[in-house]
Amino acid sequence: MKITALAGGVGASKLLYGLQQQLTVNEAEELTIIVNTGDDIEMFGLYIAPDLDIVTYTLAGIVNPATGWGISGETFACLERLIGYEGVERWFNLGDRDLATHIFRTSRMRGGESLSMVSDRLRRHFGLPMRILPMTDLHTPTTILTKEGPLHFQEYLIRRRAEPRVEGIRFERIEEARPAPGTVEAILEAEAVVICPSNPLISIGPILAVPGIREALLATKATVLAISPVVGGASLKGPTDRMLRDLGREVSASGVARFYGDLLDRYLLDEQDHSEEASVAALGIETRVAKTVMQTEADKSALAGTVLEWLAE
Ligand code: FO1
């Protein structure tokens, strides 16, 4: 089955890892992952693409299992030396091995290659059979509008620990962005589109905001299935719940289904949220419940198995 997944970082990667366990190499060649690049940031002259790296490192089996980002067994000698220099602060932890990826990416991009091209080089370097595509090749950083003023998403999340109240979200230059090569085709030609359990506002939201992507999702004959990132009224990872609340949105599994609205054919909720099935079904979306909280490798594989079985019906 040709599957296209829309993905953010850590939450999405858990499901994608499960899919990798469930699929043969030949089947995985039919999987395309479209990744959020709104989190991308330039730092120390380097282009850093956290969600692309999280997805790639996870599927390559080298991600730091304790954090879900960065490389396992990482050291920080370079960063420790950097922060000794005047005016350099430590708030974004760039490890020595991880820096190699950012140096490679940045040097290739300075040489004229697109983010898509470099992402594909990295994917091939790790011998991964699936396609990993950025949503767009244009740098369209997500700005969080807060009481303290506008902050780059990483500054809001990491430096300010998601503390300032969110007043709005802006995807910079998004109206100029074009979907990255292969993304629209991957949606139109898929048999299934899986929206991973990522933050709808700042992980999936930027992907949907790239002109042409939402239109492709509405036009595709693929079954569009989302997995709720909200369980029992709270997000499993990151500040999704707080951001939804700050923006006056309902913090529930069914609230996220309403956010996606007519894009969805099917919605998978956690078993804790079974009482919300009826309100999602009332939107004309088929529902099912499963254990969506992924703590162990077995949980990831089981959830991916549930998704694949439902799609095969
Ligand atoms: N997340 C943190 O919580 N603290 C960090 O210092 C940090 C550094 C970092 C460096 C490279 C990278 O690819 C990701 C990194 N992340 C870090 C994760 C990242 O900020 C977010 O989790 C994602 O952008 C959201 O998906």
Amino acid of residue 26: N
pLDDT of 160 above 90 = yes
Determine contact, residues 208/214, Cβ cutoff 8 Å. Answer: yes
Fold (CATH) for 3-42+49-65+127-141+172-312:
Rossmann fold (3.40.50)
Q: How far is the CA of 67 from the centre of ligand 1 (A)?
A: 9
Q: How far apart are CA 135 and CA 195, in angstroms?
A: 13
Calculate the average pLDDT of the chain: 96
Q: Where are the domains of the chain?
A: 3-42+49-65+127-141+172-312
Distance between CA atoms of 198 and 156, rounded to whole angstroms? 17
Cβ neighbour number for residue 153 with a 10 Å cutoff: 23
Tell me what pLDDT residue 260 has. 97
In the structure, what pLDDT confidence band is assigned to residue 240 with cuts at 50, 70 and 90?
confident
pLDDT of 4 > 80? The answer is yes
Cα 220 to middle of ligand 1, angstroms: 33
Q: Are 185 and 216 in contact (CB under 8 A)?
A: no
Distance of alpha carbon 193 from alpha carbon 201, whole angstroms: 18
Question: Is residue 244's pLDDT more than 90?
Answer: no
User: How many Å lie between the centroid of ligand 1 and the Cα of residue 242?
Assistant: 18
Structure tokens at 90: 């430590």
Q: How far is the CA of 245 from the centre of ligand 1 (A)?
A: 23
What is the rounded distance in angstroms from the CA atom of residue 70 to the CA atom of residue 163? 23
Residues having CB within 6 Å of any atom of ligand 1: 8-10, 39, 48, 50-51, 53-54, 69-70, 92-94, 98, 154, 157-158
Assessment of whether the complete model's pTM goes beyond 0.95? yes
pLDDT at 237 over 90: no
Tokens of 71: 């490389």
pLDDT digits (tens, 9 = 90+) for 88-118: 999 999 999 999 999 999 999 999 999 999 9
CA angle 289, 290, 295 (to 5 degrees): 145
According to the model, what pLDDT value does residue 271 have?
Answer: 96
- Tell me the backbone φ, ψ of residue 309, rounded to 5 degrees: -65, -45
**% pLDDT > 70, the chain:** 100
Q: Whose CA is nearest to atom 19 of ligand 1?
A: 50
User: Could you give the angle at which helices 96-110 and 115-125 cross, rounded to 10 degrees?
Assistant: 140
